Amino acid sequence: MENILRPLIVVGGSVLLTLLIGWATDRLLRKADERHPETQLWGLLRRGRIPYQLVLCAALLRASYDSAQLLQDHRVGIGRALTLVLIGSAAWLVIRIAAAVVETSYTRYASSRAQRDPARVRRVRTQVTLIMRVVAAIVGVVAIAAMLLTFPAFRAAGASLLASAGILGIVAGVAAQSTLSNLFAGLQIAFGDMVRLGDTVVVDGEWGTVEEITLTYLTVRTWDERRITMPVSYFTSKPFENWSRGTPQMTGIVYWHLDHTAPVDAMREKLRDILRECPAWDGRHYGLDVTDTTPNTMEVRALVTAKDADDVWTVRVTVREQMIGWLVRHHPYALPRVNTADAILPPGSNGNRRSPDGAVPRRAVDTPRPERG
């Protein structure tokens, strides 16, 4: 009878005590969260209740397993399994606690600076994300190493592994050269402030927003909702456009190719009227000038400003559409056209004057003359 009751008491008591401590801890965290709504720390710590209970249960069972006298033939295997569960759950708990602390610190920082310096907030968010990935990777490697050391075979092989660590390190470095370069490039991006989450960039002719940054790759979401995944080493070895660098304010350009008779002064006034009715224009600056001419058309350029890349796109397309519509309705002669009229020669010309290069020009009107009766 004692052989049955003792294991039940030990195992059942460990599980019951784990549930009781876990419930009490969760209740305390909930009350702390309700009492301090200004911080998210206590609410985020509640996400670690599962690994916390696993740590408690594995520790209690590991400590009391010998006194339970259960499955003595497999005592070593069960003890090692409990140790592995304890190490894994402890690593999981450490990652959850670190994530809660870092996320709380970032949220507090972002709430105080979101209005004054949004670019700085995006930079800190990028750094926080990459730091958490590094912490998770380090904790995971340490946990796996601790698990392996619980096996006597790996402990016995430790000396030989250390002796050959130099050769293995060289081989691994050569084999993982690309991976290591991406890893260091990711750290350089995080702390060098080259590109941040939410930045508007142009890479390989594609315009988009940085959606995800890891230690090895970066994802750009294009304007048509495609995802471009690129190695982070690209951004440290090749030039790219970052439209969010510094301030997000931008100046947009709109071009028209019009006839030489286009009313430029009237177009300036119309541009002012269009911008006043466009909510995306930030009111900083606008202008319209003739920037180039050809034998058939002239190039008219309009400059408009907006607070960010999305708004400057909206302003550009609005100005382009409404200006073309206004020209079609009120000044159709200003649109580019093919000139098919006869050439007008200078006064006193008989139509046979040679050009500077010695060629004889054709007559302006090449039609047969009527015969006289």
Could you tell me the domains of the chain?
2-113 (no CATH), 250-334 (3.30.70.100)
Most confident of 23-32, 38-47, 157-166: 23-32
Residue 191 reports pLDDT greater than 70:
no
Judged by phi (left if over 0) then psi (alpha if -120 to 50, else beta), residue 348 lies in left
Q: Collapsing DSSP states into helix, strand and coil, what is residue 358?
A: coil
- At residue 339 the predicted structure's pLDDT band, cuts being 50, 70 and 90, is low
Task: State both tokens at 351.
Answer: 């139509």
Distance (Å) of CA 155 to CA 62, 161, 167, 256, 354: 21, 10, 20, 76, 101
Q: What is the pLDDT of residue 315?
A: 94
Q: What is the pLDDT of residue 143?
A: 84
Q: Collapsing DSSP states into helix, strand and coil, what is residue 235?
A: helix
Q: What is the mean pLDDT of residues 193-213?
A: 82
Q: What is the mean pLDDT of residues 69-94?
A: 77
- Return the percentage of the chain with pLDDT > 70, whole number: 71
Across 338-373, b (16+ Cβ under 10 Å) vs e yields eeeeeeeeeeeeeeeeeeeeeeeeeeeeeeeeeeee
Q: Which pLDDT tens digit goes with each residue over 246-266?
A: 677 888 999 999 999 899 999
How many other CB atoms are found less than 10 A from the CB of residue 56? Answer: 21
Supply the mean pLDDT for the chain: 76
Most confident of 23-32, 134-143, 219-228, 298-307: 298-307
DSSP H or E stretch at residue 211: strand 206-213
- Strand 281-293: give its sheet, edge to edge: 250-258, 298-306, 281-293
Tell which wins on pLDDT, 51 or 258: 258
User: Rounded distance, CA 217 to CA 186, Å?
Assistant: 8
Q: What is the mean pLDDT of residues 113-134?
A: 71
Q: Which pLDDT tens digit goes with each residue over 291-320?
A: 999 888 899 999 999 988 888 889 999 999
User: Rounded distance, CA 241 to CA 207, Å?
Assistant: 9
Q: Which pLDDT tens digit goes with each residue over 259-287?
A: 998 999 999 999 999 999 999 998 888 99
> Residue length, the chain?
373
Q: Do residues 29 and 46 lie in contact, with contact meaning Cβ atoms separated by under 8 Å?
A: yes
Mean pLDDT check: name the lowest of 55-69, 223-237, 290-304, 328-342. Answer: 55-69
Phi, psi dihedral angles at 363 (to 5 degrees): -70, 150
